[in-house]
Structure 1
Amino acid sequence: MAELLNQAVQYNEDSIRSLDWREHIRLRPGMYIGKLGDGSAADDGIYVLIKETIDNCIDEHVMGFGKVIEVRVTDHRVEVRDFGRGIPLGKVVEVVSKINTGGKYDSGAFQKSVGLNGVGTKAVNALSSYFRVQSFREGKTVWAEFDRGELKQRGEDATTERNGTLICFEPDDTVFKHFHFIPQFLENMIWNYCYLNAGLTISFNKQKYLSQNGLLDLLRDKTKKDEDSLRYPIIHLKGNDLEIALTHGNQYGEEYYSFVNGQYTTQGGTHLNALKEAVVETVRRHFDKNYEVSDIRSSIIAAVSIRVQEPVFESQTKTKLGSQNMSPEPNAQSVSSFVKDFVKERLDDFLHMNPAVREALKKRIEQSERERKELAGIKKLANDRAKKASLHNKKLRDCRNHLPDLKADDRYQSTLFITEGDSASGSITKSRNVQSQAVFSLRGKPLNCFGLTKKVVYENEEFNLLQHALDIEDGLEGLRYNRIVIATDADVDGMHIRLLMLTFFLQFFPDLVRNGHLYILETPLFRVRNPKNHKETTYCYSEDEKQKAIDKLTKAAKKVEITRFKGLGEISPDEFGLFIGENMRLEPVIMEKETSVPKLLSYYMGKNTPDRQRFIIDNLRIEKDVDEVALV
C-alpha cells in the first residue's frame, strides 16, 4: 500500500509531457471548437469547422478581395473556395499547421477580421481525417494534404485558375461520432454571412445566396410570412462600423440577431447588451415617460452588426463578444457607448421624422403594459403556488447541475426530458445521469393552447410548473437546461402529445426554439438479437436498420429475435441508459427562415380546415400490426 501511495505522489521530470500542436487540439478539442456533437445542434463542432474555414474567406472579402465564395457540402466532405489573394505560396503549409502563424497579426493586412487565423484552420486540419489546402497566386499553385494534422504530401504546379484559396476536409469520424450535416443549419449559416456582407455572393451546393440590403433583408426574411403582424415597417439604421434593424410584432418574447465582424454571436455580448439598453433609454426619453423595460422590449425583433478592431471573444468559437472597447488603442471609445450614442441619435431622429411609426411603437408599448397589468394578479398567485410546489415537486426529478452553473463542455450536456406518464419517466429517471439530466413528467395529454393568451401558462398548473422548472418566465437568461427534449412514444398518442408541447413552446416561448434548445428524442423501434446470445443485440430506429441487423445476424444464427417497442415504458432502465447517453439520438426542432409560427400552428393545431383534411386523406397509410416479439 505504501509503495502504491509513493508511486501516486511522485512528481518529477518524467511527469511532464509536451504535446505538439495537433496532439493538443485532438486531446482537448473543446478548447478550440466548443463541443463535439453529431450535427444535431447548430453549434456542434462539425459546423464550427465549416465556419472557421469560411471566416477566412469573409475576411478576404471585407478587405476588398473576392466577391464570390463557393461552398460544397456532401455527406462527409466540405470544400470551400474563395477568390481572394490566396495564401502566400511559401507559407501554405505553415498557415494550416503551425500555431500562431497567420496573416492577421498584421492589422494592416486584416483590419477588422473575425479572428487571428492562429487557431481556426489548424483545428480544422487536426480534427479532419483528410485535409487539403491549395493556394492559387499569379499563375502558380501550391497544395498540401494532411491526415489528422500530419502532413502526407505537398506539391507545386503552374495553373490558369484565378487567385484564391481552396480548403477541402472530411471531419474525423473517430472524433465526431455518427455525425451528419443538417441542411437547414448550413443554409442559415450561409444566409448570415450574406446579410453581413451585402453584395457578397455565396454559391452553396450550386445555389446562389445574395443580400443587397444587409440586416434589412435579414428581418424582412425572418418576418416575410408574418408581415401582417408587424406593428410598423422595419427601421434600418446604418453607419460606420455599426448597422441596426428593428421592429415590433405580436409574438411573445424578444428576438435578437447579433454579429461582430461578420460573425454570428449566438450568445450576444457587449454589443447586444448595449443595444437593448439603448433602445429602452431612447424610447423613454423620446416619449418622456418611464415605461417598464419589459413593455418596451416585449415582441421586439432586432438585429445588430458591429465591426471592432481586434475583437475579444469569450471563447474560441466566438459566440459571445467580450470586447469593452472598439479598438486596443489608448482612450478608444467603448463598445457600449459607441452603440448607445448611435441609437440615441439615429433612432430618436427617425421617430421624429416618421410620426406614423412613432405612434405604432407607442401603441405596441401601451398594449404590452395593459397585458402585463392584466396578468399581474393571477401571475402572483401562480408563482406563489409554484414556489411551494418546487420544494417537493412530484413532476420534476431534477439534476444536480444546471446550465448557469456549468462551464465549458459540461454546459452542453444539461438536459431536461419531458415525458408522458409515470412508466416512461420511471425508466428515464432510473437510467439518467443525475448530474446533468432532469425529468419532467406529464400526467397525460397537455392542453392545446393554440390561440390562447399567456394567461393560460399561469392558470394551467402543469404549464406553470414547467415554466418554473425551466426558469424562462422572464426570458432565456436564466434557462436551467441547454437541451429540452420531448420524449414520447412512437405512436399516435405520443405524436399528439409531441405536437401539443411544440404548440406550447412555439406559442409562448418561440425564442427557446429559435435558439436551438428544443429537441425530439429518437428511441429505437426494434431490438434485434440472437436468442441464444443476447450480447449479439442491435437496436434499430427504422425498418431499414432492422432489415440490415436481421441480415447480419442470420449469417451467424439460425433464428433472430425481433422485439417491437410500442412505448417508452417497455424499454428497461438498463437499456434506456444506452439511448440517452453519449450516443443519444436527437432530432432538433428547427425554425426555418420561411417559417410562420402563427400559420404553422393554425394549420396543425387550429380548427379542422379543408386543407388539413385533404392532407390527411392524401397521406393516409394502413400499416400491418407488428407482434411484440417475433422469431424469424
Structure 2
Amino acid sequence: MAEVIYNDDSIRSLDWKEHIRLRPGMYIGKLGDGSAQDDGIYVLLKEIVDNSIDEFVMGTGKTIEIAVSEQKINVRDYGRGIPLGKVIDCVSKINTGGKYDSNAFQKSVGLNGVGTKAVNALSTIFTVQSYRDGKTKKVEFSKGEMVSEQPIIDTTQRNGTAITFYPDETIFRNYHYIPDFVESMVWNYVFLNTGLTINFNNQKYFSERGLYDLLSKFNKPEEIRYPIIHMVGHDIEIAMTHGQQYGEDYHSFVNGQHTTQGGTHQAAFRAAVVKTVREFFKKEFDAADVRSSIIAAISIRVQEPVFESQTKTKLGSQNMGPEGPSVATFINDFVKKELDDYLHKNPDVADALLKRINQSERERKDIAGIKKLANDRAKKASLHNKKLRDCKVHFNSTHEKRYETTLFITEGDSASGSITKSRDVDCQAVFSLKGKPLNCYELTKKVVYENEEFNLLQHALNIEDGLEGLHYNNIVIATDADVDGMHIRLLMMTFFLQFFPDLVKAGHVYILQTPLFRVRNKKETIYCYSDEERRNAIAKLGNKPEITRFKGLGEISPDEFGLFIGKDIRLDPVILKDQTIKSLLEYYMGKNTPDRQQHIIRNLRVEKDEVEEEPKIIDEVA
C-alpha cells in the first residue's frame, strides 16, 4: 500500500466563497433540482427574504416584492436599506451583519452572518442594490467574486434593498422553481407576520389573523370537529382544532422559520395539550387518543435559538433565552392557562373535543387485536421480506446521505429488478407491489393492518406512530406510464392521503418520471420524456435516427435505468393545494361521481398518430 504523504503542502486554506462552493450542503442542506420543498434553491430564496422580514419585524418595510421566473429571483423590500458604506461587506464577508447586536435583533432566525453570503457564492449572478435616504449603491458578483461596483448616486426610490440572483447551474443541476412551493413559503411569511403584504409574481398575499388564517386556509368548517381555538401571547401564538383525518398535523415555527421537522417546541406543545386536556376532563386519557386527528400551528420567538442544522428545520433549544424559562415550561404554562380557560368558556367546544377523544379511543381499541397480529406478522416478514430491498442509510439517522434516502414503490418484479440492479445501495431502497393495491377510499385504518401489503409498506416506512422515525426522505411511486400504471399511482396516493396525509403534506411523496423514448444515432443518445421531446430529438439528430419506445419500466435495462435514478433523476412532487383531502379523494376515487364523468366527457380527445410520418419506432423487448 502506497504511503500517503502528509506535510505542509497537504494543509490548504479556503476563503469563504471557496468553502461554501466546495461544501454547499453545510450551508443550505441538500442541493436538488427544485422538486422538493427543502431543496437548496428554496433555501437561497428564504435566506434573502428572511432579511426583509427582519426589517418588517423592526417596524419598517410593510411590503415585500418577490418575482420568481424559471431561474431568476428578484426580492425588493422597503426597509431601511443596507448602509451604503457596508453593502459589499454585508454580502461578501463572513460574520458581517447587523444582527449581532441582540438588542436590535433579539429574536431573528439568521444570526451567523452566513445566509446572504451563501446565496452570493452559489449564484452565477448576484446583484445587490441599496436605497437609503435619497442615495443608492449597486454591486454585482459572480460566484462570490465582485464583478462591478457602481458609485453612490442620487435616487428617487424609496428606502430598502433589492437583490437579484441566478442559482449556479453547475451546483443545482437542471433546477427549476415550482411556484406552489414558493407560494407556500410566502403564505407562511404572511401568516406569521400579520400586517405584512407580500406581492409574489404580481399576486397579493396578506393575513389579518395569523395562524388562525393558516388553519382556515387548509381546513373547511365542515371538515373540523369544532371551531379553531386561537391563542396569542407574548412570544407565542397557537391555533388548534381536531379534524376527521388520521394522524397528527402540525405547522411549527420559530422566529418565523418553518421548522418542518419540529423540535423541542413542537414536542412541548404535544405534551402540554395532553396534560391540559386530562386535567380539564379529570380523566387519564391515552395520549394518542387526545392527539389523534389534531390539526395545530404553533409559533414561538426564542432569543438566540439553537437549530440542529444550518437549514434550521428542527429546533434544538431547551430554553427561551439565556435567562429565560425552558421551552417546555413556557409552552406548558401558556397552554395550561389559555386552553383551560377557553374550554371552560366554550362548553360546546369542550363537548366536541371529548366526543373526538372518545371516538379515537373506540377506533384504537377496535383495531388493537388485529394490529398486534399484523405487527407480529410484519416483524417475522421483515427478516426475509421479499417485497423490500432495503438500503444501508435511513432518514432518521445522522448520516450525511440521510436526505438522499429514497424508497421506490414499483409494480411487479421486472420493474423492481431493474431498479434493484442499478440503485445506490447506500440510500435507495425498493418495495415491490404484487399487483394493483386495494382501493382504500372510505375504509378505516383497520385495513392497513388487515391488508398484508399495506402493513408491510407501513413498517418499511416506519410511520405507524408518526413521521419521527421515517426511514426514507423520498417515497417515489415508480409505475409504468400506461393506464394500469396510472391507476396504481392513484391507488397508492389514495393510501397515503387517506391514512398518512402528513407524509404528503410534508413533501415526501413523488412520482418518478421515466423516459418514453430513446432516440439515437451512432454519435449521440437522447432520452425523451414526452412526444415533444421526441420530436425535438429527431430534429436535432436528423437523418432518420433509431427510435425505441419503452412500454414499461421492466423493459429498460439496469444500466440505462441507472441513468434515470441517479443525479439526473426527474421527480414530480405530489402537492396538496387548497382542495381538501376528502373532496379530492371523493372526486377521483369515489364511485362513478357525476363530476368526474363530466370532466372526462369535456376533456376526451383523440390524437392523430404521427408515427407513420417519422422514422420507424422499435418496441423495446425485455
**TM-score of Structure 1 vs Structure 2, range by shorter chain:** over 0.9
Which whole-Å CA distance do the structure 2 matches of 1:265 and 1:442 have between them? 34
Task: Give 3-state SS (helix, strand or coil) of 2:275's partner.
Answer: helix
2:194 paired residue number: 198
1:630 to 612, 616, 622: 616
> Is 1:457 paired with 2:444?
no
Task: Give 3-state SS (helix, strand or coil) of 1:93's partner.
Answer: helix
Q: Give yes or no for contact 1:559–1:631 (8 Å, CA) kept in 2.
A: no
1:605 paired residue number: 589
Which whole-Å CA distance do the structure 1 matches of 2:308 and 2:376 have between them? 37
> Is 1:298 paired with 2:289?
no
Task: Give 3-state SS (helix, strand or coil) of 1:478's partner.
Answer: coil
Q: Which amino acid aligns with 1:492?
A: V
Counterparts of 1:565-604 in structure 2, within 5 Å, are 565-592=550-577, 594-604=578-588
Q: Give yes or no for contact 1:79–1:167 (8 Å, CA) kept in 2.
A: yes
Q: Which amino acid aligns with 2:30?
A: K
Counterparts of 1:93-492 in structure 2, within 5 Å, are 93-116=88-111, 118-155=113-150, 156-224=152-220, 227-329=221-323, 332-408=324-400, 410-492=401-483
Residue 118 of structure 1 deviates from its aligned partner by 0.5
Q: Report the TM-score, using the length of structure 2 for normalisation.
A: 0.97
Residue 405 of structure 1 deviates from its aligned partner by 2.3
Change in Cα spacing, 1:614 to 1:92, as seen in structure 2 (3 Å) is same
Which whole-Å CA distance do the structure 1 matches of 2:238 and 2:87 have between them? 38
**CA offsets per residue over residues 519-549 of structure 1, 9 Å max, x none?**
000000100001xx2x511101111211121
**CA offsets per residue over residues 569-607 of structure 1, 9 Å max, x none?**
110111000000111100000111x12101110010011
Which whole-Å CA distance do the structure 1 matches of 2:451 and 2:30 have between them? 37
Q: Give yes or no for contact 2:538–2:544 (8 Å, CA) kept in 1.
A: no
Q: Give yes or no for contact 2:467–2:503 (8 Å, CA) kept in 1.
A: yes
Counterparts of 1:526-545 in structure 2, within 5 Å, are 526-530=517-521, 533=522, 536-545=524-533
Where does structure 2 lack aligned partners over 5 or more consecutive residues? none
Task: Give 3-state SS (helix, strand or coil) of 1:278's partner.
Answer: helix
Q: Give yes or no for contact 1:235–1:246 (8 Å, CA) kept in 2.
A: yes
Q: Which amino acid aligns with 1:522?
A: Q
1:517 paired residue number: 508
Task: Give 3-state SS (helix, strand or coil) of 2:537's partner.
Answer: helix
**CA offsets per residue over residues 172-204 of structure 1, 9 Å max, x none?**
111101000101000000000000000100010
Q: Which amino acid aligns with 2:103?
A: G
Where does structure 1 lack aligned partners over 5 or more consecutive residues? none
Residue 550 of structure 1 deviates from its aligned partner by 1.1
1:614 to 573, 598, 601: 598
Q: Give yes or no for contact 2:410–2:431 (8 Å, CA) kept in 1.
A: yes
Which whole-Å CA distance do the structure 2 matches of 1:383 and 1:278 have between them? 30
**CA offsets per residue over residues 313-361 of structure 1, 9 Å max, x none?**
11111111111111123xx211111111100111111111110111110
Which whole-Å CA distance do the structure 2 matches of 1:273 and 1:64 have between them? 31
Which whole-Å CA distance do the structure 2 matches of 1:153 and 1:607 have between them? 64
Q: Which amino acid aligns with 2:335?
A: V
Q: Give yes or no for contact 2:544–2:615 (8 Å, CA) kept in 1.
A: no
Task: Give 3-state SS (helix, strand or coil) of 2:98's partner.
Answer: coil
Residue 382 of structure 1 deviates from its aligned partner by 1.0
Q: Give yes or no for contact 1:76–1:180 (8 Å, CA) kept in 2.
A: yes
Which whole-Å CA distance do the structure 1 matches of 2:41 and 2:54 have between them? 21
Counterparts of 1:39-78 in structure 2, within 5 Å, are 39-78=34-73
Which whole-Å CA distance do the structure 1 matches of 2:560 and 2:497 have between them? 32
Task: Give 3-state SS (helix, strand or coil) of 1:316's partner.
Answer: coil
Which whole-Å CA distance do the structure 2 matches of 1:629 and 1:574 have between them? 25
Q: Give yes or no for contact 2:84–2:132 (8 Å, CA) kept in 1.
A: yes
Q: Give yes or no for contact 2:393–2:399 (8 Å, CA) kept in 1.
A: no
Which whole-Å CA distance do the structure 2 matches of 1:350 and 1:445 have between them? 48
Which whole-Å CA distance do the structure 2 matches of 1:286 and 1:373 have between them? 23
Which whole-Å CA distance do the structure 1 matches of 2:120 and 2:309 have between them? 19
Which whole-Å CA distance do the structure 2 matches of 1:405 and 1:327 have between them? 28
**CA offsets per residue over residues 217-274 of structure 1, 9 Å max, x none?**
00110103xx212111000000000000000011001000001111111111111111
Q: Give yes or no for contact 1:244–1:305 (8 Å, CA) kept in 2.
A: yes
Task: Give 3-state SS (helix, strand or coil) of 2:31's partner.
Answer: coil
Which whole-Å CA distance do the structure 2 matches of 1:381 and 1:308 have between them? 45
Q: Give yes or no for contact 1:56–1:117 (8 Å, CA) kept in 2.
A: no
Which whole-Å CA distance do the structure 2 matches of 1:54 and 1:405 have between them? 31
Which whole-Å CA distance do the structure 2 matches of 1:111 and 1:431 have between them? 50
Which whole-Å CA distance do the structure 1 matches of 2:465 and 2:206 have between them? 36
Which whole-Å CA distance do the structure 2 matches of 1:400 and 1:44 have between them? 23
Q: Which amino acid aligns with 2:66?
A: V
2:496 to 505, 526, 533: 505
Give the ranges of 4+ consecutive aligned residues of structure 1 lying more than 3 Å apart after TM superposition: 623-629
**CA offsets per residue over residues 134-172 of structure 1, 9 Å max, x none?**
111111111100001000111121111111111110101
Q: Give yes or no for contact 1:130–1:147 (8 Å, CA) kept in 2.
A: yes
Which whole-Å CA distance do the structure 2 matches of 1:550 and 1:401 have between them? 41
Residue 111 of structure 1 deviates from its aligned partner by 2.3
2:33 paired residue number: 38
Q: Give yes or no for contact 2:67–2:75 (8 Å, CA) kept in 1.
A: yes
1:561 paired residue number: 546
> Is 1:29 paired with 2:24?
yes
Residue 63 of structure 1 deviates from its aligned partner by 0.9
Task: Give 3-state SS (helix, strand or coil) of 2:524's partner.
Answer: strand
Which whole-Å CA distance do the structure 1 matches of 2:442 and 2:265 have between them? 35
Which whole-Å CA distance do the structure 2 matches of 1:117 and 1:130 have between them? 23
**CA offsets per residue over residues 74-105 of structure 1, 9 Å max, x none?**
11110101111111111000000000000000
Q: Which amino acid aligns with 2:550?
A: F
Q: Give yes or no for contact 1:415–1:484 (8 Å, CA) kept in 2.
A: yes
**CA offsets per residue over residues 447-506 of structure 1, 9 Å max, x none?**
111011111111111111111111111111111111110000000010001100010100
Report the identity percentage. Answer: 71
Which whole-Å CA distance do the structure 1 matches of 2:123 and 2:369 have between them? 57
Task: Give 3-state SS (helix, strand or coil) of 2:147's partner.
Answer: strand
Which whole-Å CA distance do the structure 2 matches of 1:443 and 1:367 have between them? 34
Which whole-Å CA distance do the structure 2 matches of 1:144 and 1:117 have between them? 22
**CA offsets per residue over residues 276-322 of structure 1, 9 Å max, x none?**
01001101111111111110000000000001112111111111111
Task: Give 3-state SS (helix, strand or coil) of 1:404's partner.
Answer: coil
Which deviates more from structure 2 when the two are superposed, residues 145-154 or residues 544-553? 544-553
Q: Give yes or no for contact 1:403–1:482 (8 Å, CA) kept in 2.
A: yes
2:77 paired residue number: 82
Q: Give yes or no for contact 1:564–1:629 (8 Å, CA) kept in 2.
A: no
